[in-house]
């Protein structure tokens, strides 16, 4: 629960309203009557703000049973066989059902978050946190942040730009001469990472979507690529390719690009590539999709990677069966790489990456496909590694970061995770390889794309829709 503290009265009134039913349905374009119907009949399963509860969210891009007006009316009227979703035509009039369908359609375009102002402070179980918005006007779909030091950071925007964030303010000029990515709806520029020895070598690492066949044709085969370069005078120079799939391994019509990057404590660079909608390829070490990878900083392949000796297999593979790894976090004590895998409906996972492990996608999963089809009956199988935890219903897990240092006493080694659909930053208490507690510390202000701890030990959050860069510190 978020309480606005010491914020201007206007904000406080606004936020208080939101805590109740409020904003969405007090917007003049949305019907109060429909909102009341929704509260009475639907909110119990689909969530007070359509965010999902025992049943799926009703604000989403992937609909299991159809999103057109006719299909919504049909599904509400006749229910969905074999589920808890009943036939509401026995309870509600045709007009009521139409009003509910309209409400659902309108809610897609009026996200709760878009009309909510971030409070100046939020209350968590242990702390009051100051919330500082570092950028909002001049930023578009920020995807990943990499810190050079506590004053200087780089932010990717998905459209294909790198921005410099210096002392908390964004350089209005993007870095010049960066490569042009393959243009696809969910792709572009993805993860960014800074070399652990940046002070000596200046290397910046970038994951992006690329087609070696035709960059401008969205239906062309393409793949996630990893490069590095340096930034001099706000210009990208010295580019080198570290990982690039040959033409024959690129995938047409792909979706779920992965693209997170992380250096571990030994200087290995990890990156993820999602299943590109070719789920079965996730089990095939000769194909790229659905894996995590480990390389040296110069792109060479570590001699002890699990598939280096298998003919035709990709030597960079570190783990298999990962649907769409959207977060990597380095455990401050064990040095292990923890990862968050964006699953199908109901199958978001938290994993610890173990060399050569197979995390099972799509043979075993806790989720079902967004089409409503079963992906697999199995949640366990011999030789397939179980997640540390999983989230049902899906929160649409994105990024992850461990809390380091002493800035947040009591939260040492806790894991922060971001969620897109649930618009959350959660704090997970980690004991050994178990999660013993979860607390939502930020919710409902936008899709959380990235969460990182800065070298100054504040928490940095990248929000999408509305797009923002936000810093959280303990209020004094």
Considering the complex, state which of residue 44 and residue 405 has its C-beta at the smaller distance from ligand HEC.
Answer: 44
Q: Which of 83, 125, 235, 374 binds ligand HEC (CB under 6 A)?
A: 83
Q: Which of 3, 41, 186, 268 binds ligand HEC (CB under 6 A)?
A: 41
The separation between CA 183 and the C-alpha centre of its own chain, rounded to angstroms, equals 19
Asked whether position 88 contacts ligand HEC by CB under 6 A, the answer is yes
Cβ atoms of residues 375 and 367 within 8 Å: yes
- Counting every residue written for the chain, the total comes to 476
What the block records as the tokens of 49 is 């703000």
Cβ atoms of residues 159 and 188 within 8 Å: yes
Asked whether position 243 contacts ligand HEC by CB under 6 A, the answer is no
Nearest to 235 by CA among 192, 177, 292: 177
Considering the complex, state which of residue 16 and residue 83 has its C-beta at the smaller distance from ligand HEC.
Answer: 83
Considering the complex, state which of residue 58 and residue 194 has its C-beta at the smaller distance from ligand HEC.
Answer: 58
Cα gap 151→153, rounded to integer Å? 7
The neighbour count for residue 95, using CB atoms within 10 Å, is 10
Nearest to 2 by CA among 183, 142, 182, 123: 123
Nearest to 76 by CA among 64, 60, 92: 92
Cβ atoms of residues 456 and 464 within 8 Å: no
CB of 206 to ligand HEC, least distance (A): 35
Cα atoms in the Cβ-side hemisphere of radius 13 Å centred on 61: 8
Asked whether position 400 contacts ligand HEC by CB under 6 A, the answer is no
Asked whether position 252 contacts ligand HEC by CB under 6 A, the answer is no
Q: Which of 56, 113, 121, 282 binds ligand HEC (CB under 6 A)?
A: 56
Cα gap 386→404, rounded to integer Å? 26
Cα gap 164→154, rounded to integer Å? 5
What the block records as the tokens of 314 is 């990709």
Cα gap 258→245, rounded to integer Å? 14
Nearest to 400 by CA among 458, 463, 450, 440: 450
Cα gap 261→247, rounded to integer Å? 23
Q: Which of 30, 72, 170, 227 binds ligand HEC (CB under 6 A)?
A: 72
Asked whether position 394 contacts ligand HEC by CB under 6 A, the answer is no
Q: Which of 21, 65, 186, 268 binds ligand HEC (CB under 6 A)?
A: 65
Cα gap 365→29, rounded to integer Å? 41
CB of 98 to ligand HEC, least distance (A): 11
Total binding residues toward ligand HEC, as defined by CB under 6 A: 21
Considering the complex, state which of residue 56 and residue 283 has its C-beta at the smaller distance from ligand HEC.
Answer: 56
Asked whether position 470 contacts ligand HEC by CB under 6 A, the answer is no
CB of 109 to ligand HEC, least distance (A): 16
Residue-wise over 362-397: b if at least 16 C-beta within 10 A, else e? bbbbbbbbbeeeebbeeeeeeebbebbebbebbbbb
Q: Which stretch, 50-58, 382-390, 412-420, 458-466, contacts ligand HEC (CB under 6 A)? A: 50-58
Asked whether position 63 contacts ligand HEC by CB under 6 A, the answer is yes
Considering the complex, state which of residue 33 and residue 130 has its C-beta at the smaller distance from ligand HEC.
Answer: 33
Q: Which stretch, 13-21, 82-90, 126-134, 155-163, contacts ligand HEC (CB under 6 A)? A: 82-90
Cα gap 437→390, rounded to integer Å? 13
Considering the complex, state which of residue 86 and residue 299 has its C-beta at the smaller distance from ligand HEC.
Answer: 86
Considering the complex, state which of residue 79 and residue 218 has its C-beta at the smaller distance from ligand HEC.
Answer: 79
Q: Which of 14, 24, 85, 363 binds ligand HEC (CB under 6 A)?
A: 85
Q: Which stretch, 42-50, 128-136, 239-247, 447-455, contacts ligand HEC (CB under 6 A)? A: 42-50
Q: Which of residues 100-119 bind ligand HEC (CB under 6 A)?
A: 100
Q: Which stretch, 74-82, 189-197, 307-315, 383-391, contacts ligand HEC (CB under 6 A)? A: 74-82
Asked whether position 64 contacts ligand HEC by CB under 6 A, the answer is yes
Q: Which of 75, 113, 184, 326 binds ligand HEC (CB under 6 A)?
A: 75
Q: Which stretch, 9-17, 28-36, 75-83, 434-442, contacts ligand HEC (CB under 6 A)? A: 75-83
Asked whether position 87 contacts ligand HEC by CB under 6 A, the answer is no
Asked whether position 55 contacts ligand HEC by CB under 6 A, the answer is yes
Considering the complex, state which of residue 88 and residue 402 has its C-beta at the smaller distance from ligand HEC.
Answer: 88
**Radius of gyration in angstroms for the set of CA atoms belonging to the chain, rounded to a whole number:** 22
C-alpha distances in Å from residue 93, one per residue of 32, 83, 211, 318, 419: 16, 22, 52, 56, 36
Q: Which residues contact ligand HEC by CB under 6 A?
A: 41-42, 44-46, 55-56, 58, 63-66, 72, 75-76, 80, 83-85, 88, 100
């Amino acid at each position: 629960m978020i309480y606005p503290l010491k914020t201007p009265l206007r904000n406080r009134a606004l936020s208080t309203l939101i805590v109740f039913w409020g904003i969405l349905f007090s917007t003049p374009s949305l019907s109060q009557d429909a909102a009341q119907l929704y509260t009475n009949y639907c909110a119990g399963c689909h969530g007070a703000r359509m965010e999902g509860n025992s049943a799926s969210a009703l604000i989403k891009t992937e609909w299991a049973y159809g999103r057109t007006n006719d299909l919504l009316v049909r599904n509400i009227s006749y229910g969905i066989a074999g589920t808890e979703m009943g036939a509401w035509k026995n309870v509600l009039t045709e007009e009521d059902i139409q009003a509910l369908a309209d409400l659902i359609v309108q809610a897609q375009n009026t996200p709760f978050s878009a009309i909510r102002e971030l409070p100046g402070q939020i209350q968590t179980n242990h702390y009051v946190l100051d919330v500082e918005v570092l950028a909002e006007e001049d930023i578009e779909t920020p995807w990943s942040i990499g810190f050079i030091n506590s004053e200087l950071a780089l932010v990717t925007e998905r459209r294909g730009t790198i921005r410099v964030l210096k002392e908390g303010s964004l350089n209005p000029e993007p870095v010049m001469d960066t490569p042009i990515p393959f243009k696809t709806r969910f792709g572009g520029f993805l993860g960014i990472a800074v070399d652990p020895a940046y002070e000596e070598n200046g290397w910046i690492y970038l994951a992006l979507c690329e087609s070696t066949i035709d960059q401008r044709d969205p239906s062309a085969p393409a793949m996630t690529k990893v490069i590095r370069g340096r930034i001099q005078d706000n210009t990208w120079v010295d580019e080198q390719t570290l990982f690039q799939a040959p033409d024959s391994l690129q995938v047409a019509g792909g979706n779920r690009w992965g693209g997170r990057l992380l250096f571990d404590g030994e200087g290995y660079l990890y990156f993820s590539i999602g299943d590109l909608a070719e789920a079965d390829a996730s089990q095939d070490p000769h194909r790229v999709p659905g894996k995590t990878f480990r390389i040296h900083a110069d792109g060479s392949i570590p001699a002890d990677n699990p598939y280096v000796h298998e003919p035709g297999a990709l030597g960079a593979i570190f783990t298999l069966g990962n649907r769409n790894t959207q977060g990597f976090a380095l455990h401050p004590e064990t040095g292990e790489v923890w990862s968050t895998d964006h699953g199908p409906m109901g199958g978001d996972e938290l994993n610890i990456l173990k060399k050569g492990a197979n995390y099972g996608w799509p043979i075993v999963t806790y989720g079902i496909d967004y089409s409503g089809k079963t992906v697999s009956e199995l949640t366990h199988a011999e030789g397939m590694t179980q997640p540390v935890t999983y989230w049902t219903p899906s929160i649409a897990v994105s990024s992850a970061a461990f809390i380091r240092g002493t800035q947040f006493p009591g939260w040492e080694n806790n894991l922060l995770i971001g969620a897109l659909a649930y618009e959350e930053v959660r704090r997970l208490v980690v004991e050994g390889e178990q999660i013993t507690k979860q607390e939502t510390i930020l919710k409902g202000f936008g899709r959380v794309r990235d969460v990182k701890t800065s070298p100054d030990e504040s928490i940095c959050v990248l929000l999408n829709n509305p797009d923002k860069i936000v810093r959280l510190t303990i209020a004094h």
